[in-house]
Amino acid sequence: MSIASVVSTLFGDRLPFRVEAFDGSVAESSVASAANDITLRILTPQALIHVLRRPGELGLVRAFVAGDLELDGDLDALFSLEVPPLGHLFSPTTIGPLLRLIGTDALRPLAPPAIEAHQRGALHSRRRDRAAISHHYDVSNRFYEMVLGPSMTYSCAVFAHEGDTLELAQRRKVDLICRKLDLQPGQRLLDVGCGWGAMAIHAASTYGVSVVGITLSVEQQSYASQRARELGLGDLCEFRLQDYRDVRDGPFDAISSIGMSEHVGRRALAPYARQMFDLLIPGGRFLNHAIGRPVSMKDDPQPTRRGEAWRQTQIAWGMRGPSRVRSDFIERYVFPDGELHDLGTMVALFEAHGLEVRHVEGLREHYGRTLRYWVENLVKRFDEAAEEVGEQRARVWRLYMAGSAVNFEHHHLEIHQVLTVKPVAGRTGLPWRLDFEPTF
């Protein structure tokens, strides 16, 4: 019995792709469909060992990242993959032939890809948070330039229409945040999780504010500081390697937090909200820009099903019912210890700690579009990127960004900007109507 025939038996008439295996065998769907336009190539016995040792998402990801498994065609197909339950995989008609084909190697330990993260220490302690941030961001600034483009902005862009370039849409995003914060010359802005400095530099150069940007990434802090100096903004932009919990030189007129609170963790959200409140002047504004989960996906008591014996596996972000707070893939390879929170939780926590929520904007479709640009950038320069950071990491990024795009497009993920203000005796100082329409 061949590898391809075992896979075909496992899926039956639901074979979602053409299969080519290292033993030369091939299997195709018996029904003419788009599935035959996608080829899953099982390149080594190690691919099967990964799947057998960790069935489901993690085994498939390890095989893909290690280069033992390849998909020829659109990666989107992976994120609607329907796989049989474990009972099918380990049934005598499947497991017996697989073990005979693999041999005794199936019984030996198989190390995961070298770039898999293994966090140590107390969850969301300062040391562990710094290690988690370093795993994702302290990779290579040159690699990020290849993926993100000249703006070096690693968050959802804002498009006026589909024809916008990524650079224009990213500039519109940071300008939109500046206008929501009503920045004025001479004010102090704290940019929490400042990345490579795009928000801080735009705020200083366009609105004349003094900015403190904080990050836990050595690479980001170095890049942002150098960029500010090159632009003659060294006097207005200070970039620190600092945890938000350790900022002591408030108050600030405004605070921006763009794509940072996903790293905070549910148990630390209340102290996070309290710190933002404490660091603001009375009447100051705080904007939180963060990815979140729709409540309907998080709290649905029944996992998504298609047929009685089948479950839907979506690799990116692990959207598989209420017990799955984090995806194995995202946790091990992308954002260790990252946690996504629903919009209602965020709004309730901000208000519980004295911040009045005045404006909420959803940008879900915009993030899907942003991610498609990043995937296109990576694919165009994949060989160069793989040479810079290693093929395993480049494969992780292609998988993670493609899967994230699918999940935003299908509303398995959301992103919102929440504008709050620190009121004074019941007064916010905001105008009767807020107008944040783009100026370009």
DSSP string, 43-74: -SHHHHHHHHHSTTHHHHHHHHHTTSEEEES-
CB 123 within 8 A of CB 266: no
- Tracing tokens 């004025």 back to the chain, one arrives at 184
pTM summary value? 0.89
Ramachandran angles phi, psi of 346, nearest 5°: -65, -45
Q: What sign does the dihedral 63-64-67-72 (CA atoms) show?
A: positive
CA distance 279 to 99: 60
Among 406, 386, 414, smallest CA distance to 65 is for 386
- Locate all alpha helices (DSSP H) within 214-324, ordered by sequence: 218-230, 269-279, 295-298
Structure tokens belonging to residue 120:
């140590």
Q: What are phi and psi of 373, to 5 degrees?
A: -60, -45
211, 212, 213, 216: which is closest to 241 by C-alpha? 216
Cβ contacts of 91 within 8 Å, gap of 6 or more: none
Mean pLDDT to the nearest integer, 394-417: 95
Give residue-wise pLDDT tens across range 210-222: 999 999 999 999 9
Structural domains in the chain, CATH included, are 3-107 (no CATH), 126-421 (3.40.50.150)
Most confident of 44-48, 339-343, 381-385: 381-385
For 396, the token pair is 């992780």
Task: Identify the CA nearest to 79 among candidates 347, 402, 325, 324.
Answer: 402
Tens-digit pLDDT profile for residues 110-143? 899 999 998 999 999 999 999 999 999 999 999 9
3-state secondary structure of 229: helix
- Check: CB of residue 203 under 8 Å from CB of residue 183: yes
- Smallest CA-to-CA distance from 270 within 352, 207, 366, 149 is with 352
Q: Is residue 161 scored above 50 in pLDDT?
A: yes
Query: Is the per-residue pLDDT at 301 higher than 60?
Result: no
- Cβ(350)–Cβ(420) below 8 Å: yes
Q: Are the beta carbons of 258 and 193 closer than 8 angstroms?
A: yes
For the cut 70, the answer to whether the pLDDT of residue 312 exceeds it is: no
Is 307:329 a contact under the CB 8 Å cutoff?
no
Please give the helix or strand (H or E) that residue 280 lies within, else none.
strand 280-292
Above 70 in pLDDT, residue 227?
Answer: yes
Q: Would you state the pLDDT for residue 269?
A: 95
Q: Alpha carbon 31 to chain centroid distance?
A: 36
CA–CA gap between residue 372 and residue 99 (Å, rounded): 40
Which of 97, 103, 115, 88 lies closest to 44 in space, CA to CA?
A: 103
pLDDT digits (tens, 9 = 90+) for 57-113: 888 899 999 999 998 888 887 776 666 666 666 777 777 877 888 877 777 788 999
Give the per-residue pLDDT at 212.
98
